[in-house]
Amino acid sequence: MKKECYICSMNGLMDNLVNYGDILLSCSIKHDMHMEHRMPAHSIIFVRSGKLIIEGRDSTDEITADNFVFVRRDCSVNVTKVPLDGTPYRGINFTLPRRYLKEYYNRIAATCRKMRGISPIGQTVNILPQTTGLKSLFGSFMPYTDSGETPSDEWLRLKVDEAIMCLLNIDQRFYPTLFDFNEVWKIDLLDFMEHNFTEDLTLEEFAAYTGRSLATFKRDFARISTLPPQRWITEHRLERAKELMIKYGLTAQDAGYTAGFKNRSHFSQAFKKMYGHAPSEYIKMKVKNEEQALRAMKN
């Protein structure tokens, strides 16, 4: 079992995050922390103290201390972790890997067939009842998360089964939600790309977040664009940067960074190649042409 510990400091306050094999994550945050989370797998989160705010496309949910929340896979949400009354935000995130869900399904396939008429859960964020099962499950994590001791792979594997049973006992709609292994794992490619092309992601990460291998990602992308994926991303970033400079008055440096270019020189070269001028020159030329057009209209 691989354990990764992260300690970061902001305004002199120390945060601690411990990740056990990408399944179990424990964190203690002493200041407000806002971030975007991409959820390629189902997760259950327990808020031990403080408050968790999850903002999706359709709703914003606040989860207070001692509550549990289920977040569906294949989504992108904005997350804010908020300490309260001098107490840090503390939470435990438990992920349900797809491979374990498939193994569990294979053992109870006959039962699942009886659930075919039930619709899956549609909401991205679902606050769960405080059942004895969930309290017992997350209570068993705390001796490890609080001591820093690493649980075994076999123990965590059993805990995935326990988490699945907890959810199935809460609501029958978790059957079609957890055990749907069809195309729903491939989220809409064009929609995801149009919402995330400014993000600092590799093609491999774009593929993973849309539920695809890199080869399948490239093959599916060819069906929606005549451009290769990297070229499509670059051109969309350039269009966004141009819009930010012209419509919103951002500097070339700020526009390029906001649009997804982390290297200023690369942005300038790509912009000049596409539009024939460096960003600052392009804006000057644009302003000059507009002024000349206004003068011509007055005359």
Burial of 178 (0-12, 13-18, 19+ CB in 10 A): buried
Quick one: 43 and 89 in the same domain? yes
Helix orientation angle between 252-259 and 229-248, rounded to the nearest 10 degrees: 140
Question: Is 172 found in the same domain as 25?
Answer: yes
The string of pLDDT tens digits covering residues 222-278 is 999 999 999 999 999 999 999 999 988 899 999 999 999 989 999 999 999 999 999
Q: Which CATH number covers residue 287? A: 1.10.10.60
User: Is the domain of 207 the same as that of 104?
Assistant: no
Contact yes or no for 173/118 (Cβ under 8 A): yes
148 shares a domain with 36: yes
Choosing from 146, 178, 210, the residue where a domain stops is 178
Instruction: For residues 104 and 12, state if they share a domain.
Output: yes
Q: 121 to each of 66, 171, 175, 176, how far by Cα in Å?
A: 23, 9, 9, 8
Degrees, nearest 5: CA angle 12-18-21: 155
Count the domains in the chain: 2
Q: Is 172 left (phi over 0), alpha (psi -120 to 50) or beta?
A: alpha
User: Do residue 21 and residue 159 come from a single domain?
Assistant: yes
Q: What pTM was computed for the model?
A: 0.63
One domain for residues 171 and 198: no
Same domain, 113 and 200: no
Q: Of 38-52, 93-107, 211-225, 279-293, which gets the smallest average pLDDT? A: 279-293
Q: For position 22, which CATH number holds? A: 2.60.120.810
Residue 15: which pLDDT band, with cuts at 50, 70 and 90? low
Identify which has the larger pLDDT, 162 or 153. Answer: 162
Residues 132 and 191 in one domain: no
Predicted pLDDT at 114:
60
Give the integer Cα–Cα distance in Å for 87 and 49: 7
Structural domain that includes position 290: 185-297
Q: Which ranges of 71-213 does DSSP label H, i.e. alpha helix?
A: 98-107, 109-113, 132-147, 153-170, 174-178, 189-196, 203-209
Please give the full DSSP string across 28-55, using - where no structure is assigned. EESS-EEEEEEESSEEEEEEEESEEEEE
293 and 255 in one domain? yes
- Residue 168 carries which side chain, given as an amino acid letter? L
Token pair for 108: 């109870």
My answer on whether 137 and 243 are in the same domain is no
Q: Which of 34-43, 184-193, 202-211 has the highest mean pLDDT?
A: 202-211
Domain stop point among 178, 207, 224:
178
Choosing from 145, 178, 211, the residue where a domain stops is 178
pLDDT tens digits, residue range 157-170? 999 999 999 999 99
Pick from 46-60, 93-107, 108-122, 233-247: least confident: 108-122
User: Do 58 and 170 share a domain, yes or no?
Assistant: yes
Radius of gyration of the chain (CA): 24
Mean pLDDT to the nearest integer, 132-160:
93
